[in-house]
Amino acid sequence: MSRFTRIFAALTTAAALLTAEGQACTRVVYQGPEGRNLTGRNMDFKDPMVSNFWVFPRGMKRNGAAGSRSVEWTSKFGSLAVSGYDISTVDGMNEAGLNASLLWLNATKFAEDDGMTPRMSLSIWAQFYLDQFATVAEAVEYARSHPVEVVSGEVPGRPGSLAPLHLTLSDATGDSAVLEWIGGKLSIHHGRTYQVVTNDPPYNDQLANQKYWSAVDSLNFLPGSGRSEDRFVRAGFYINAVTRSDDPRIAAAAVFSVIRNASVPYGVSLPEAPNLSTTRWRVVADQKSMVFYGESATSPNVFWVDLKKLDFSEGVHVRKLDLGVDMNRIFAGEASNEFVPAKPFDFMAAE
């Protein structure tokens, strides 16, 4: 390799990584045979993250943690929630098979407060849907007919920096939705075709970029950088190219293989890009078998929780699986017996 080629390759790599700067995540929906639908996601973040598994029963009284006009509800469904810093729900699946995931979107612009519309903190946005709905169609109908102002809060460890996130939903039928706040208005993409979500740009632009790449022979060339647009195209190709199987082990392996391919290498660092994200952990929800898998980027093992073994009855204790920083506590195999009673965390308030 010539000196010029080496320099060019290094500059190209640095440019690709620089465009990946900030927070980055990837979420995919696998639509297999016999209703074998699974959802997988990477959690990519610049800083180490405390994320634990929580079992929330039915009948929990909630409010939107956003001041005097906060939405109030009582949970209809129990759920296995994944926390972010134990101040928010960032992922999870309820007992009906509805999955909710929060991902970073810099283009987010939440609505200005109009003084009348009910409000909800961003920290509890995903949990609201896990608590209330069995299907994506029900959730989308509600979102369209019941206006709510979602209010952001500070990113942990970054005073003054408000979290810009979008929400994805999927269910046991393979249906999917992407909810984004663009220009102060809620944009919703709803349908089985919306299998892949990454980060910026807004979803309409991602779809246009994917259409452009559809003219390229993906077997011979795929965009390979860590950029959100490249991960979107790459994951979109692979999630429909991997083996289709009703075997839960094979299906889960296929989904893990796709999200690992879209991961950001652990600990990647460049002096020119101090805010690069790295994949901290991965989760996969089998929405037919009702099994929720977890994998830390720092652990050699996959562990999982069989939701059929959890008690979601109204009045039972909230339970917690303490996973440590970046889920680095070592678990392997089925872990439902490892949960212990715990006081539920307080969702971060937003005013």
Task: Tell me the catalytic residues.
Answer: 25
Q: What secondary structure does DSSP assign to 180-215, as a single string?
A: EEETTEEEEEESTT--EE-SSS-HHHHHHHHHHHTT
What are the residues whose beta carbons fall under 8 Å from the beta carbon of 41, sequence distance 6 or more? 25, 26, 27, 28, 91, 101, 103, 259, 282, 283
Side by side, the strands of the sheet bearing 196-197 are 196-197, 25-31, 37-45, 278-286, 291-296, 302-306, 333-334
Which residue(s) pair with 113 in the sheet? none
Produce one character per residue of 118-130: b if its CB has 16 or more CB atoms within 10 Å, e if not: ebbbbbbbbbbbb
* Nearest to 231, CA basis, from 201, 190, 254: 201
Structure tokens given for 99: 């999955």
Distance in angstroms (rounded) separating the CA atoms of residues 316 and 57: 7
Side by side, the strands of the sheet bearing 319-321 are 185-190, 176-182, 165-170, 99-104, 88-94, 79-84, 53-56, 319-321, 340-341
18 residue type, one letter: L
Distance in angstroms (rounded) separating the CA atoms of residues 183 and 180: 10
Q: Would you give the end-to-end CA distance of the chain in angstroms? A: 57
